[in-house]
Amino acid sequence: MGELDASVPSIARVYDYFLGGKDNFASDRALADRMIEIAPLVPVITRENRQFLSRAVTWAANQGIGQFIDLGCGMPTAPDTLDSARAIIEGARVAYVDNDPVVLSHLGARVAKGVPGVTVVAGDVRDVPAIVGSVRAGIDLSSPVCLIMGYLLHFFTADAARDLVARYTAAVPRGSVVVLSAIRVDTEGSDEGFAGYSTTVAPVYNHSVAEFTSFFGSLEVLPPGVVDARQWHVWTAAGHLPPRDQYAIVGVARV
């Protein structure tokens, strides 16, 4: 586990601030506020992404999948993956993967409390063999899993994102599902906002719809396809949604 430096903003803690959490520092809030100046809807679409992930986990559990691998999981914000899964399958198991010390501390506390079926993996998601080997401590990779990459792939170039998804999906059995989401901003000045985040925290890429769709490779993308998070399994007609130039782009595919 890396050492905590409160003066350096953290991806997970910036998201925590957007979601109204309290596990963030002044450096995180300062960066988040600068991002909001460029793209005012970022907190809104971050919440919409969190809601989509909960719906996707619920959907997967309703398909009978009881194992979840949450890559780059971030802070355990309610309802998190375990909450959503166990609302459907009481014995659902989750492997959380992250490299942020604060995230790992919070997840470790849950394990320390004796919550069964939770595996916490400290590691870099780019090291696929190590991550896959570690999640086996709590996940049976001979049975289908739900693989989650929520708000993760915009930290990778398009080529790197395609490669990462392909390597992880190659490690899970047929019948598994893959859940992807990323931020998409088309506003004037969005490049400045992404550049500022890239300089301060980590490189971030504003992937096009076509690029995001390509991340699924040859996988079968399930209805309603690659859409705004507000359109995925929500009982609101797409035509009734107000047009927006800032949104979470999402999709779910079957392996």
Is 1 part of a structural domain of the chain? no
Give the DSSP H or E segment for 246.
strand 246-254
**Can you give the pLDDT at residue 189?**
55
Is 24 part of a structural domain of the chain? yes
CB 158 within 8 A of CB 211: yes
Is 191 part of a structural domain of the chain? yes
**Can you give the pLDDT at residue 93?**
97
**Can you give the pLDDT at residue 224?**
93
Is 241 part of a structural domain of the chain? yes
- Angle (CA) 34-190-147 rounded to 5° is 90
Gap between the Cα atoms of 129 and 63, Å rounded: 27
Residues for the chain: how many in total? Answer: 255
List the domain range (segments joined by +) for residue 141. Answer: 11-254
Is 37 part of a structural domain of the chain? yes
**Can you give the pLDDT at residue 110?**
81
Tokens representing residue 120 in the block: 């916490």
Is 172 part of a structural domain of the chain? yes
Exposure on the CB side of residue 23, measured as CA atoms within 13 A: 20
Gap between the Cα atoms of 123 and 89, Å rounded: 27
* Cβ neighbours of 174 (radius 10 Å): 7
Which segments within 86-215 are labelled E, that is strand? 93-98, 118-122, 146-150, 177-185
Gap between the Cα atoms of 226 and 235, Å rounded: 17
**Can you give the pLDDT at residue 197?**
54
**For position 145, which CATH number holds?**
3.40.50.150
CB 60 within 8 A of CB 234: no
| Closest by Cα among 77, 68, 97 to 18 | 77
Is 5 part of a structural domain of the chain? no
CB 226 within 8 A of CB 249: yes
Q: How many domains is the chain partitioned into structurally?
A: 1
Task: Say what the pTM is.
Answer: 0.88
- Tens of pLDDT along the chain (255 residues) come to 445 566 677 778 888 888 888 878 888 888 888 878 777 888 898 899 999 999 999 999 999 999 999 999 988 887 899 999 999 999 999 999 999 888 898 898 888 788 899 999 999 999 999 999 999 999 999 999 999 999 999 999 999 999 999 999 999 999 999 999 999 887 665 555 555 555 555 678 889 999 999 999 999 999 999 999 999 997 655 556 777 888 999 999 999
Gap between the Cα atoms of 175 and 202, Å rounded: 34
Is 6 part of a structural domain of the chain? no
